[in-house]
Homo-oligomer: A and B are copies of this chain.
Amino acid sequence: MRTVKVRAGGRQYPVLVDEGALDRVGELLRERLGAREVLVVTDRTVSALHGRRLRRSLARGGVRARRWTELRPGESAKSLATARGLYDSWLGVGADRGTPVLALGGGVVGDVAGFAASTYHRGLPLVHLPTTVIAQVDSSVGGKTAVNFSGLKNLVGTYHQPELVISDPQLLGTLSDRDYRAGLAEAVKVAVTLRPDLLDLLEREAEGFSRRDQGLLAGLVGGCVEAKSEVVGRDERDEDVRAILNYGHTVGHAVEAACRGRLRHGEAVAIGMNAAAWVGEVLGVTVGEVRTRQNALLERLGLKLALPGADKNLILRNLKLDKKVRGKKTRFVLTLQVGGASVWPHISSRLLRAAVRFVTS
């Protein structure tokens, strides 16, 4: 078992990465949190895949699931309405400030269960059990919670660090090929911006990662969590260095929104990373190696670098919306060399337009 310690919000909590950890969740909850009962939040798809094993694991550890809530799968569950439903359901069993919430699922489940947990009685203890690549390498660590509002992603949310994260790479075995590969884009993002050693590993073992080799995945998840933990420890509230984790996300989000549902988040981020590296080259600040290595790796992992024929104008409108809502400036991250990223003060809209043309033709 690999343990990564994350320091944030004046506290420290462990991320445990281990094959088969799902079978020891009950034990771990008893040992680490002294919990005898939990409020489980998951979705129907994940519950069908891993629900029985989790129930058995809890029972073995002597932990009772006071509530077992299965959300509908997909982004639409990330809403204030879902949070209200969770409040009602927790209230129905008299959950108090000491009852932990256990979020079993991908980013959507983690975000909305985390939001409800952070606001019910001003904060319940939270345990993440991430089941997707993105959730294991990224979203389960760092304490961001969110729901969408009025069509805007993550408009409403909090910072609420979990007590414990349990990452079991075995769970990644049940993902569809497409979801699995898309998730690896976030790992490539971490590698390119922060961890040259992980980039080497991904390149060297691309075939092993394609086969979902358990040992390799445990190493990758652990490394990404370490990198993220360092960034979050320096900047929990996303005021400066944490923004580096947005590499590829400015254009990526705009592309994702323009393709409403046709692209996975990671697929859009891969295209966004290509755009970001190209912008850096045009500005003369990103060395050629970044785009060459990043793009070759993304392609070997089965990810596309461009979306010919996509609606350029819609993507550009989304970029402007991002700008409008987040202050006057687009927050753009450039990777100057492998392992060295930086938030760029200003990218002209002319250059942004050219970058969008570059990844859509």
Residues of A within 8 A of B (CB): 9-10, 80, 84, 87-88, 91, 94, 96-98, 118-123, 144, 146, 149-150, 152, 154-159, 237-238, 324-327
Q: Which residue of B lies closest to A236 (CB)?
A: B10
State the number of copies, please: 2
Given the known inter-chain contacts A94-B324, A327-B96, A327-B98, please indicate yes or no for A150 contacting B119, CB distance below 8 A.
Answer: no
Q: Which residue of B lies closest to A91 (CB)?
A: B150
Given the known inter-chain contacts A122-B157, A155-B120, please indicate yes or no for A94 contacting B150, CB distance below 8 A.
Answer: no
Cα–Cα distance between A149 and B149 once the two chains are bound (Å): 19
B91:A121 contact, CB within 8 angstroms: no
B158:A146 contact, CB within 8 angstroms: no
Cα–Cα distance between A200 and B144 once the two chains are bound (Å): 47
With a cutoff of 8 Å between Cβ atoms, the chain B residues found around residue A324 in the complex are 94
A123 interface neighbour in B10, B84, B158, Cβ under 8 Å: B158
Cα–Cα distance between A296 and B146 once the two chains are bound (Å): 50
Min CB gap A50→B, angstroms: 29
A97:B326 contact, CB within 8 angstroms: yes
A159:B123 contact, CB within 8 angstroms: yes
Q: Which residue of B lies closest to A84 (CB)?
A: B80
Q: Which residue of B lies closest to A122 (CB)?
A: B157
A88, A119, A157, A237: most-surrounded residue (chain B CB, <10 A) = A119
Cα–Cα distance between A314 and B301 once the two chains are bound (Å): 65
Cα–Cα distance between A155 and B119 once the two chains are bound (Å): 8
Instruction: Give 8 closest A-B pairs by Cβ, nearest first.
Output: A96-B327, A122-B157, A119-B156, A94-B324, A96-B326, A10-B10, A87-B149, A119-B158
Min CB gap A59→B, angstroms: 23
